Amino acid sequence: MMPSRYEFQGHASGIDAKQGQGDFAPAGLEVSTERVLRVLGYRRDAPARAAVRSTAQAMAELAVAAATPRATYRRLAIDRCTPEGLVLSTGTRLRGPTFAAYLAGCDEVAVFVLSLGARFDSTQKNLSAAGKTLEAYVMDIAGWLGIEEATRLLKDRLDEEAKRDGLELTRRLAPGYTSRVGGQKVEWSLEDHPALFSLFDEAAPARLLEGSCAMTPKMSRTGLFGLRAVPGYPIPDA
């Protein structure tokens, strides 16, 4: 019998169809000097001094050179989704009303761990240890812009795979971030991080610090996308 469109299917992307797990190393990561300057508060009508622009450019380039971006992700079926929280096919429970509000019509999710790698952290620490506080701060900004770009590239990859199965992605949901539910801001608690990390093995690009919900390497991110059927997509015959 052919797999249904809601069952995980392996692709040439390197996903292990048996485990429903894939790895992705974003290529061509870019961090714009202009975006770094915008975060620092500079605008076109108030341009940065030459020394500031030079630092922003150097740290943007260093951030990209030091980064070794990699993501691990899993596509998992949803067992149930209620205002109390989300239960995956693995039995993993994630709490809060965010999921019922944003995963309507979804039968599975893509859960991920993404990191810029340990080399980024060590490079930034070396700047701080050398007393280059400004450079370390600007590199930190460039790093967060870099992980935003890596997240976008990962979403593009997942979206491409989802479309092959007649599915589309929802917006990204992430521990520690707020979403608007019923006119109120609701946070997906960081306390769910251990449950999320339990879905991945030691090969994941980041891990939790012992006794904490914080991650190492520092420039890391987790989250999930819902996958829902695209209206009109033909269901394969059994």
CB 237 within 8 A of CB 2: yes
How many of the other CB atoms lie within 10 Å of CB of 126? 12
Q: What is the pLDDT of residue 234?
A: 60
Q: How confident is the model over 214-227, as pLDDT tens digits?
A: 999 999 999 999 99
Name which of 74, 14, 110, 72 is nearest 203 in CA terms: 72
CB 115 within 8 A of CB 70: yes
Rounded to 5°, angle at Cα 78 from 72 and 79? 135
What is the C-alpha separation between 109 and 11, in angstroms, rounded?
A: 17
Q: Which helix (H) or strand (E) holds 81?
A: strand 70-82
Decide if pLDDT at 56 tops 50.
yes
What is the C-alpha separation between 23 and 69, in angstroms, rounded?
A: 11
What is the C-alpha separation between 150 and 109, in angstroms, rounded?
A: 19
What is the C-alpha separation between 29 and 39, in angstroms, rounded?
A: 18
Q: What is the pLDDT of residue 32?
A: 95
What is the C-alpha separation between 34 and 140, in angstroms, rounded?
A: 15
Q: Calculate the CA 231 to chain-centre distance.
A: 26
pLDDT band at 233 (very low <50, low <70, confident <90, very high): low
What is the C-alpha separation between 56 and 143, in angstroms, rounded?
A: 12
The residue written with tokens 């070794």 in the block is: 68
Core vs surface per residue 136-152: b (16+ CB within 10 A) or e? bbbbbbbbbbbbebbbe
Percentage of the residues of the chain whose pLDDT score is greater than 90: 82
Q: How confident is the model over 185-198, as pLDDT tens digits?
A: 999 999 999 999 99
Decide if pLDDT at 17 tops 60.
no
HSE (side-chain half, CA atoms, 13 Å) at 106: 29
β-strand partners of 189: none
Q: What is the pLDDT of residue 21?
A: 80
What is the C-alpha separation between 1 and 200, in angstroms, rounded?
A: 29
For the whole model, what pTM was predicted? Answer: 0.86
The residue written with tokens 């989250």 in the block is: 223
Amino acid identity, position 141? I
CB 189 within 8 A of CB 175: yes
Instruction: Give Dmax over CA atoms of the chain in angstroms.
Output: 66
Cβ within 8 Å of residue 118, ≥6 positions away: 68, 216, 217
